[in-house]
Structure 1
Amino acid sequence: MVKSHGKKQRARQKAARTGAAYASAAAGTTHEHTPLPDMAVLEKLPHNAGRKLDLELAARLVAACRIRCQPCQRTLAGKLRAEQRPTLAALAAAIYAALPSPGFVASPTTQAWAPLARAGKTDPAVAAEALAAVEEMDDRAASDLLEDALDHWALGGASAEEIADMVTVVPEAPPRQRPADPTDAYREAGIKVVTLDDLDLGDVDTYHLAPAYGVMPMQTSTPDGRPMPMLLLYPESEGAGIEDLEARTDWEHWGLHGMPDMDPLWRLRARIADRSLQGLVHVGPAGEDDVELWRAAESVSLPAHWWDLLDRVQHIVVVGPVAEPEAPGALEAAGGAGELLAVVARVSFR
């Protein structure tokens, strides 16, 4: 009995140490996938928030993925989800903090979590928030995040140098251009500048003083394949373009992969009576329209199928600018060149 008990105890310890199933450990049929990748780079990420990581478990799981050993993947992944959420967060952050977008094929869980991973790379508070989000996930969500991350790890190099390159080389979006206010230069030179805000003119409509855009209703898909309405902006006057949008919005650069961030303060206003779009605005802290980016010159009823989609989703991808929106491949070309800004806005029906 003592001998049998000792054997069982050693098998449990071996299973816990290697991540193998208890039956395999007891039968002495465990195997290892070598060489194991060096995962020490995970400890350098802020997303572990100082928590202890199981680097050996992570290395065994990645090694099993690279040679497509399904039994070991299932066992090790289950152990990681159940016992090592900080390690799971670090594995996922090593990928998604280094990608500008999780991509269309990523699960909804990963789509929602990836922006935290990116922001957490430079902000420890957000990195801790990303870890907390992983720890609060149910098993299904954690499994989706882990599977998405492992798809990337399975393609990575096995050496420590290659892993470090994969983690530290971050494809950056083109830097946002915030044009300097030319009136600042005049003020510095001692010239008095009077703006419309300085004049007591009552309620003045300044919409037509700013660069103008047109809009084109379109349709895209979410990463999980659901249809999503999209509104394409194109310049209609001098000064309209990406520099103007960068100056007037905080939209992110978007390469047509994944979904841009959602900002509920951006509203696309739609009128139910005639199924038409009325305007695109940003709502300020007091509920006022502090940015009016587009206003309909006339009411045009939208196709029934597009209006029904808008009504069902009640959010819309707004993207632009594209100089020639009807030209074949123009949108894709602008996205590939890093010349698109985008946001997911709310639809406000009236």
Structure 2
Amino acid sequence: MVKSHGKKQRAKNRSRRTGAAYASAAAGATHKHEPLPDMYALQAIPYLPDLFVNADLAARLVAACQVACQPCQRTLTKKVLGHEPTLLALTAAIYGTMPAGPVASATTQAWAPLARAAQEDMGEAAEALEAFGALSVEARADLLEDALDHWTMGGPASEEEIADRLADLLSAPPRQRPADPMDAFRKAGVQVFTLDDLDLGDVDTYHLAPNYGVLLMKTDTPDDRPMPMLVLYPETEDAGIEDLERRTDWEHWGLHGMPDRDPNWQVRAQIADRSLRGLVHVGADGGDDIELWRAAETVSLPEQWWDLLDRVRHVLIAGPVKKPEDPGALQAAGDAGELLAVVARVVFV
């Protein structure tokens, strides 16, 4: 009876969190999520191994759960389950400071005490990490579901509330940064050179990072005014939704309304030949710190599209779409919760 009651209560929690009907939630068939909570403190949990924690991904999942955004929650949950450091941080941040509730899954009931012990004594961390590593995909899903119930309890949390939830976990001395992986080669007598050592001057790193192509489109604003639009698609194998989530702070967009404007994102247009030159992000120092797309050749834009660009001076950027040749690719990405978007300003050069 207790086990059955626990399952029913967790199904109710899932129904509340996802906005799905109870029957759908019980069957496991379970949409804006702003502002994103600041989850970067997850990267500093003292007893976790020095692995990359995707704080942006964690924030998007928590925010999607807080506002019951079903498509994004479904998509982002899969991504977190496939990214062990982020999954571990999200669950450790909860169960390092509180016990599992009576209706939590058997997995959570067993792992929560280990996480609490690791928080209280760094010497106990190895056991918690080993136990976590041995969990099946299904068990990890149960653990994440229980942790998300705590993250979303009471609805959207303010930055202060999120900070309070993480404060205890950050009370231990900060971890030492991981050693430079090149140190092992240096100790072995292997001479190591960096780009700085070689003094090559200004090095073009564009092709060292994931690259995108662009499709010209037009859309309408909520007040029915036309607006130019660029849709991104991957040009290199490492480009895609995970890369954009890591390198940008664009919001998930479901093709409704307009995403936020960010003046630091710029679409550069060359007046002389009426062409687009690139899509870049300008950093605090005024230099380009992210370059997602660069024109490989000069192509003059259609007259109507250029005139619209000149008049509006902003462009809606959305992507990525997996199959740019498919007319339904944009809609499919939006329906799957795998579409990021921002409104960039146009800079004429």
What TM-score results when the alignment is normalised by the length of structure 2?
0.49
What TM-score results when the alignment is normalised by the length of structure 1?
0.49
